[in-house]
Amino acid sequence: MKSNTIKGYKLLLADLSPVEVTIELGLSCEEIKEIYLKFLELQGLHNFEKIMKTTRITCPKFFKLLIK
């Protein structure tokens, strides 16, 4: 596993948003997308309804993240 991936998981677990993690680690859109989607899967949050209820991500931000 890459160093940024592990750091990304740790920051997401510390309740930072994907945008904050991107800025903190200097990630590309593709890198944060991969890290965030894997993070959601590992947390059992890959279900859209759960994501909206249990994270600070709003629908527009979520779709923007997935589209990039």
pTM over 0.75, yes/no = no
Give the residue-averaged pLDDT of 25-48. 82
For 12-21, the pLDDT digits (tens) are: 989 888 889 9
Residue 56 is predicted with a pLDDT of: 64
Please provide the average confidence, as pLDDT, over all residues in the chain.
Answer: 78
Q: To the nearest whole percent, how much of the chain has pLDDT over 90?
A: 19
Residue 36 is predicted with a pLDDT of: 87
**CA atoms of 14 and 30, how far apart (whole Å):** 21
